[in-house]
Chains A and B, each alone.
Chain A
């Protein structure tokens, strides 16, 4: 019997127009007291130059720097605010065609897995909303019910995504030769390269060029582009 194909979807920029920063900001702006808010925002601002540098050098380092601002936040708050983050920040930013694309994949008999640098507590909502069958996302380390500001290994970013997809496929009986991967970003080329069917979605400039060179399908989930 043939293995069930899987579709691996990057989320930020691919299915959702936001990136990791707006949900993080929402968390920072919703602290128990204004003083806590000031403290968190101040800490984040101090790390901004490092984050900008990391974004250019290494996506994994960027994620680790960004999520370090969660240090000291209670696990309760992390989970409870995830509902609001999804409702107010992420859901309005989901591309109009995202749900259709996930549904088409499911209708074609695919296992649909979201793979994202966002936090698992938020991505769980996205997966449920889009009808995905699973997700792979970053997880914050929690110690004594408080976030340490560190990400659990493996960090979901860049080339690690390729390893995670390969592991997931092996564990779940998916043949990568039948699998699809979707992303908007050049940083996901390793993940796109290990499946038979890579797809560029709302691609950035470098991925657009690469997709053209390798004749990868390119699609747009942006409503403005879709109606043209």
Chain B
């Protein structure tokens, strides 16, 4: 018997409602299609502050935080940026709660030399209002911008090379963190690929370190990003993280949240359409009609600016790997839905949001990152779709970029992709040029643009999906140019896309549809009588 979150469409089923950017679209899926819904949000902790205190006083594989503190010592607190969670968390953000308790503890122990670094790595610098949302008014007013600031990996004086792993990965980190007596990392683990060694050794590093694993070769060997055990990316980051922890004293505080993305008025978006009450059906129709009549910027504001009522489901602290093992188990518990058998055709809407377009538009390169990267990789075990299978996505693929945040993306999409889609050629021939572009570096360091290499990483992010999938068909694109640049086919309707997909699929193909957001994952196993996952016949 299948999991209650895996619903099979029959002849009486209502149409499914899927995101296509910031619009909602009704889709009639064929009978027999399996639709993967997300698990209901796990029950949040009753007293989060108590859980934080308990975690730092009863850490995993480490002395309690207070025992590590000495008056006059130098402490750096690194914090996950607001690419997590999506959309932003309703205030108080869990990071504010953790920081409040940790900063009070540091003050009580006579630790005055404290600086907080937002661990942006090569993400864009967070703006003041975004940082305020994350850390709260009291901390922001006291520390910003001298003692609370964005990481700058392009500051030649601000980075220090601490060593090279046994396989040649260079580890270069924030000088402030390296020269501190203690580095405390405050994490928010939205999905299983977050946290662990990735926090310090990626969050506080720069391009020199990132290129060791953010490259086509490593990305192709991730099955999937969301399962650390089978992710080459995670293996590389772990090697670098272990070297980091040999050189730095790191105390990790990790938190996990549930998937309560939509507040009560919109909670029906996560439900099975067959189970909607009459009121919810009216609300859904009204919402769709409103979105259709609302200009795009207003639609974006509605979805992005309204914070989500996420609940904290776990807090652990101490030694990085021990802490992360517990947090990631919670992530899997929240997200993983067992699915037996891979599909021939995978269907998914692509929503308006990704970790890289907070407060800006989901540009075409990020649509690619979401489709071939994030959505394709939301699995543990076997990929959701068979090797050579087809993925159908829904998104308008509008040729629009945020000039401030995504300046280097524009050149990547409009100058480089017409030359080649080959990730290896892009990596070898063009990535070094972008990495040294003085204008982009200036925009990154002093404006709010992503690092010039970030669009390359976004392309590599889709590499495992591109290597695995036979075809990608996009439904509802408002232009032909962008899908062609991405190497995708287009269809006007889902029916047309399914007909196209069936032409290269076996008779009576197995179709799996993802009903996301909120976030969920498929734990895919081979059907009974088929080879087990370990045989890797993908």
Question: Do A227 and B403 contact each other (CB < 8 Å), given the known contacts A7-B438, A108-B438?
Answer: no
B residues in contact with A226, CB < 8 Å = 446-447
Residue of A with least CB distance to B128: A228
How far, in whole Å, are A105 and B436 apart by their CA atoms in the complex?
Answer: 8
Contact between B145 and A227, CB atoms less than 8 A apart:
yes
Contact between B410 and A101, CB atoms less than 8 A apart:
no
- Which residues in chain A, 107-129, are within 8 Å of chain B measured between CB atoms? 107-110
Most chain B beta-carbon neighbours within 10 Å: one of A105, A182, A217, A228: A217
B residues in contact with A100, CB < 8 Å = 442, 445
Nearest 7 CB-CB pairings of A with B: A108-B436, A199-B439, A104-B438, A105-B438, A226-B446, A215-B410, A217-B439
Most chain B beta-carbon neighbours within 10 Å: one of A97, A182, A215: A215
Q: Does B437 contact A (CB under 8 A)?
A: yes
Please give the distance in Å from B361's CB to the nearest CB on chain A.
13
Category for how many chain B residues contact A: 20 to 34
Contact between B447 and A219, CB atoms less than 8 A apart:
yes
Residue from A97, A105, A180, A215 within 8 A of B403 (CB atoms): A215
Residue of A with least CB distance to B444: A219
Residue of A with least CB distance to B446: A226
Residue from B145, B401, B410, B446 within 8 A of A219 (CB atoms): B446
A residues in contact with B436, CB < 8 Å = 107-109
Contact between A97 and B437, CB atoms less than 8 A apart:
no
Residue from B127, B437, B441 within 8 A of A197 (CB atoms): B437
For A63-93 the 0/1 string (1 means CB < 8 A from B) is 0000000000000000000000000000000
A residues whose Cβ falls under 8 Å from a Cβ of B: 7, 97, 100-101, 104-105, 107-110, 180, 182, 197, 199, 211-212, 215, 217-221, 226-228
How far, in whole Å, are A218 and B447 apart by their CA atoms in the complex?
Answer: 9
Most chain A beta-carbon neighbours within 10 Å: one of B127, B145, B407: B407
Question: Do A217 and B401 contact each other (CB < 8 Å), given the known contacts A226-B446, A227-B145, A228-B127?
Answer: no
Contact between A219 and B128, CB atoms less than 8 A apart:
no
How far, in whole Å, are A219 and B439 apart by their CA atoms in the complex?
Answer: 7
A residues in contact with B127, CB < 8 Å = 228
Contact between B446 and A182, CB atoms less than 8 A apart:
no
Q: List 22 A-B contacts (CB under 8 A).
A: A7-B438, A100-B442, A101-B442, A104-B438, A104-B441, A107-B436, A180-B439, A182-B439, A199-B439, A211-B403, A215-B407, A217-B407, A217-B439, A217-B443, A217-B449, A218-B447, A219-B443, A219-B446, A219-B447, A220-B446, A221-B446, A226-B446
How far, in whole Å, are A33 and B449 apart by their CA atoms in the complex?
Answer: 53
Please give the distance in Å from A31's CB to the nearest CB on chain B.
40
Contact between B446 and A217, CB atoms less than 8 A apart:
no
Q: Does B251 contact A (CB under 8 A)?
A: no
Q: Does B440 contact A (CB under 8 A)?
A: yes
Residue from B145, B411, B442 within 8 A of A97 (CB atoms): B442
Please give the distance in Å from B58's CB to the nearest CB on chain A.
41
A residues in contact with B437, CB < 8 Å = 108, 197
How far, in whole Å, are A127 and B249 apart by their CA atoms in the complex?
Answer: 45
Contact between B403 and A212, CB atoms less than 8 A apart:
yes
A residues in contact with B401, CB < 8 Å = 215
Contact between A101 and B145, CB atoms less than 8 A apart:
no
B residues in contact with A227, CB < 8 Å = 145
Please give the distance in Å from B123's CB to the nearest CB on chain A.
17
Most chain A beta-carbon neighbours within 10 Å: one of B401, B445, B446: B446
Question: Do A220 and B447 contact each other (CB < 8 Å), given the known contacts A108-B436, A228-B127, A228-B128?
Answer: yes
B residues in contact with A217, CB < 8 Å = 407, 439-440, 443, 449
How far, in whole Å, are A203 and B404 apart by their CA atoms in the complex?
Answer: 14
Please give the distance in Å from B305's CB to the nearest CB on chain A.
19
Please give the distance in Å from A176's CB to the nearest CB on chain B.
15
B residues in contact with A218, CB < 8 Å = 403-404, 407, 443, 447
Question: Do A180 and B438 contact each other (CB < 8 Å), given the known contacts A217-B407, A227-B145, A228-B127?
Answer: yes
A residues in contact with B440, CB < 8 Å = 217
How far, in whole Å, are A78 and B457 apart by their CA atoms in the complex?
Answer: 54
Contact between A101 and B438, CB atoms less than 8 A apart:
yes
Contact between B442 and A219, CB atoms less than 8 A apart:
yes
How far, in whole Å, are A219 and B401 apart by their CA atoms in the complex?
Answer: 17
Contact between B438 and A110, CB atoms less than 8 A apart:
yes
Known pairs A211-B403, A228-B127. 5 more at Cβ < 8 A? A104-B442, A105-B438, A215-B411, A217-B443, A218-B403
For B40-72 the 0/1 string (1 means CB < 8 A from A) is 000000000000000000000000000000000
How far, in whole Å, are A108 and B446 apart by their CA atoms in the complex?
Answer: 18
Please give the distance in Å from A188's CB to the nearest CB on chain B.
15
How far, in whole Å, are A211 and B436 apart by their CA atoms in the complex?
Answer: 21
Please give the distance in Å from B37's CB to the nearest CB on chain A.
40
How far, in whole Å, are A107 and B445 apart by their CA atoms in the complex?
Answer: 15
For B415-440 the 0/1 string (1 means CB < 8 A from A) is 00000000000000000000011111
B residues in contact with A7, CB < 8 Å = 438
B residues in contact with A109, CB < 8 Å = 436
Residue of A with least CB distance to B154: A104
Residue of A with least CB distance to B415: A196
- Which residues in chain B, 384-421, are within 8 Å of chain A measured between CB atoms? 401, 403-404, 407, 410-411, 414
How far, in whole Å, are A50 and B461 apart by their CA atoms in the complex?
Answer: 59
How far, in whole Å, are A100 and B439 apart by their CA atoms in the complex?
Answer: 11
Please give the distance in Å from A112's CB to the nearest CB on chain B.
9
How far, in whole Å, are A212 and B440 apart by their CA atoms in the complex?
Answer: 15
How far, in whole Å, are A119 and B503 apart by their CA atoms in the complex?
Answer: 71
Most chain B beta-carbon neighbours within 10 Å: one of A104, A108, A228: A104
